[in-house]
Amino acid sequence: MNAQHLSLAHLVLHASWVVQGILLILLIASVASWFVIFQKAIVFAAAQRALKRFEKRFWSGGEMAQIYQQVSGNPNLEVGAGNIFCAGFAEFQRQRKARAADALDAARRAMRGAQIREIGQLESNLPLLASISSVAPFVGLLGTVWGIMTTFMNIGMAQQATLATVAPPVAEALIATLAGLFAAIPATFFYNRFIHKLDELDDHYEVFMDEFTNILHRQLPEARP
C-alpha cells in the first residue's frame, strides 16, 4: 500500500463528489465560525471595558445631571450600562412632573428597552455558532455514511477485495466526520463561553438598574423627609 495514497490531501482530492461537497460545506462553516469567534471576542472585551469605565465614573460621585452630561454622547461611556443609564435618566427627567410611581415606571421601562437592545447586539451571530456546533457533526456523519455505503457497493461489484483497495475509500469517508468535529468543537466551546459572558453582563445590567432605580426614587419629592 503506497503511503502517498493515504495522505490527507490525496484522500480529499480523490473522494467522491458528494464527500467533497460536504467537506466544502464544513470548511465554509468552520471559516464562518472562526470569524464570529474573533468578532464576538472583540465585542465582549469592549463591553466589559465599557462597563468598568462607566461604573468607575458613575460611582465616583456627583449630581446625576452632571454624570448624564458627561456620559451622553461619549462613545467610551454611552455603551452598555452607560446607555441604560442615559435612557433611564432622560425618561425620568421627562416624567418628573408626573406621579412618583409613574416617573419610576417610565424610567424603568426605558432602561429595560435599552438593556434589551444592548443584549441583542451582544447576542448577534451567536445563534450561528450554536447551529454550527449542533449541525456540523451530523453533516460530517452524512459524508461518512455516504462514503462507506459507496465503498461497500464497489466491494460488492469487485471480484475480490483486499485491505489495499478497501482502506483508502474508508479513510476518505471518515475524513468527513473528522471535518465535522473540527468545525463543531471550537463553535461549541466558544458559544458556551460567550453565553457565560453574556449572562454576566446581563446580571451587571440588572443590578445597576435596581440600584439606579433606588437612587431615582430618593430624588423624588415624595421620597424626601
Residue-wise pLDDT for 139-183, tens only, equals 988 888 887 777 777 666 666 655 555 666 677 778 888 889 999
Distance, in Å, from the CA atom of 109 to the CA atom of 87, rounded to the nearest integer, reads 9
The domain total for the chain is 1
pLDDT given at position 225: 42
CA distances in angstroms from 22 to 173, 205, 214, listed in the order given = 11, 43, 56
Q: Mark out the alpha helices in 59-125 (DSSP H runs).
A: 64-71, 81-94, 100-123
On whether the CB atoms of residues 6 and 167 are closer than 8 A, the answer is: yes
Q: Give the residue numbers spanning the domain of 187.
A: 3-223
Of all residues in the chain, the percent with pLDDT exceeding 70 is: 81
CA distances in angstroms from 74 to 71, 85, 150, 162, 205, listed in the order given = 5, 13, 62, 72, 19
Q: What is the mean pLDDT of residues 126-149?
A: 90
64-71 helix and 81-94 helix, angle to the nearest 10 degrees: 130
Count Cβ atoms within 10 A of the Cβ of residue 178 and give its class: 0-12 exposed, 13-18 middle, 19 or more buried: middle
On whether the CB atoms of residues 89 and 96 are closer than 8 A, the answer is: no
* Cα 159 off chain centre by: 53
Q: What is the mean pLDDT of residues 57-71?
A: 87
* Cα 150 off chain centre by: 38
pLDDT in tens, 187-212: 999 999 999 999 999 999 999 999 99
